[in-house]
Structure 1
């Protein structure tokens, strides 16, 4: 692993820090300078990693206007696949400079390849781990080729049945590559809460014995923060400089201030999750005094019986604990007790 690579930590059982990926995708909107700006802004917003995608329109589809190549529903309704990928792809000639800039400022860099030529390109570039998109999970020949490189793989599971996920996981592991993490994912753009099924995170972890996270295409950060509470080790979220900059991914991407707020909330959630620990913190110790205890609420003479009229369970906690209530009722004071005195055993008989 490279000097900046934090991804390896997700395979450590000791690691408690969620790995947060800023997905650039098409948000550069055709500008290399904006792509570099996104990398720097992602670092400032607290991302551990920035991710690009490595494909060309030709490696993805055919330049055809036939009906099969038209998108008829969703965010990109009416688009032709080839023209959509022309708008969205990150030119390969940029990617070495993007990787170098990431290394310079100390943020991890990796990519989603979509075919073998992209894998070969990224191998020459020295990329140290890979992302498999949900749309590639059934491309088993591609998974075999990628797994043979021996690099860690993060694989999204959107649209896949459990059987398809199992087949993909086995394909990778049978090559001998066991450095695999899965991302629960709803491959709708944007995703809605009803389709997120975050309970899958724990089930995927238990079923496949791998680190699991969330590839989040929903709006806002509720799903991401909730996922961390449910055991997610990785959060991937689309990142843009502004949703006003038109491109195919802008509508479901986070702007820098929103991303930073999500990162801060995730880090706060990690601290709140903490560990199994029933010891009492120093702050809790200071608060214990405001529990209830038994106090004299009237002046009580020596020899007078303690009753519900002259003693009560009230705050603060300087007197006997409430569990002693039945033991002290009907006992007698052995000395005068002033109203407002915390009750103790040395003030009563028995």
Structure 2
């Protein structure tokens, strides 16, 4: 699949990885903090800021019992209800416009993850350049069709989806008119461990679905993202906060500004390092050939004298014959007197 653009930013393996800073609920219900996050994300060099667009009522029911109560002791959100979690985490819709405007002032793209059709309609009014489908929504084919019908690039996180489910999602998007698709390898645990990231899937996803691929990363640090780029990821998404110590629903698995800056720099370096399959010296390496070993006269010899292990050796620099010829020249006589430190050449031999 050929590369495409999100707004003016090219997405593809021939371009540096596109890095998205995910704000999610890290604004902690403060617009001022949300705008600080935009400023900080722009300063890291991240290429886009992403929000999530929903309300508690578009996500679930206001119940705190049974399956609506989170009681998994391993969950970051254990002890609350789904409704209260989404109440705490959602970004008020009236904040979207000022957040988008702040991002534009920094020259940074801004878009969102819609969770139902009303969110798509709202975001269309804000002129978003792309959409993201969250990992838990990738089986919501009506939502995917609605987003795809906008004709804008669509990013879909894999999460727990099987190959069959991803195939259904991609087919639904393409049938609705969307060809500019990025599939993100994503492990839907918070935080995710490196061992559960399985970034080798990225290359397989590209081949299987013939689309751009990337990583939605919930691990700590930047190692998984760098590995993903080495395996062909053209897009990296990471949750972002000002300070994990400030708390919040997603802070535990979010990067701080210095870490996000490192992510941006190191993923681009990883991309730059891929290059092509090549052997032999590069143009930059030619000057370093002097540091190879070569055959040198290491003790003065007179004309007609025989070379031996006492008067010729393989040493640095590399101006003489290759060391592979040592056994050839040993026992050979020289044409003229040679001083210690003379590089040995075929012309010097009888």
Question: After TM superposition, is the score higher than 0.5?
Answer: yes
How far off its partner does 1:280 sit?
Answer: 3.9
Match of 1:65 in 2: 64
Match of 2:123 in 1: 122
The 10-residue stretch of structure 1 (28-37 or 332-341) with the greater mean CA deviation from structure 2: 332-341
Asked whether the 8 Å contact 1:215–1:235 carries over to 2, the reply is yes
Query: Is it true that 1:347 corresponds to 2:345 in the alignment?
Result: no
Asked whether the 8 Å contact 2:159–2:187 carries over to 1, the reply is yes
The 10-residue stretch of structure 1 (232-241 or 274-283) with the greater mean CA deviation from structure 2: 274-283
* SS in structure 2 at match of 1:52: strand
How far off its partner does 1:200 sit?
Answer: 0.7
Q: What's the Cα RMSD here?
A: 1.7
* SS in structure 1 at match of 2:16: coil
Q: Structure 1: 5+ residue runs without aligned partners?
A: none
Asked whether the 8 Å contact 2:295–2:322 carries over to 1, the reply is yes
Match of 1:32 in 2: 31
TM-score in terms of structure 2 length: 0.94
How far off its partner does 1:167 sit?
Answer: 1.2
Segments ≥4 residues shifted beyond 6 Å: none
Asked whether the 8 Å contact 1:42–1:256 carries over to 2, the reply is yes
The number of aligned residues is 344
Match of 2:245 in 1: 244
TM-score in terms of structure 1 length: 0.94
How far off its partner does 1:145 sit?
Answer: 1.6
Asked whether the 8 Å contact 2:23–2:37 carries over to 1, the reply is yes
Match of 1:225 in 2: 226
Match of 1:135 in 2: 136
Asked whether the 8 Å contact 1:4–1:107 carries over to 2, the reply is no
* SS in structure 2 at match of 1:26: coil
Instruction: State how far apart, in whole Å, the 2-side matches of 1:277 and 1:6 are.
Output: 32
Instruction: State how far apart, in whole Å, the 1-side matches of 2:347 and 2:67 are.
Output: 90
Give CA deviations for 1:144-177 in whole Å, capped at 9, x if unaligned. 1211121110000011111111111111112221
Give CA deviations for 1:105-160 in whole Å, capped at 9, x if unaligned. 21000000001111111111211210000000111111112111211100000111
Asked whether the 8 Å contact 2:64–2:80 carries over to 1, the reply is no
Match of 1:101 in 2: 102
Instruction: State how far apart, in whole Å, the 1-side matches of 2:139 and 2:6 are.
Output: 32
Q: Structure 2: 5+ residue runs without aligned partners?
A: none
* SS in structure 2 at match of 1:68: helix
Instruction: State how far apart, in whole Å, the 2-side matches of 1:6 and 1:243 are.
Output: 32
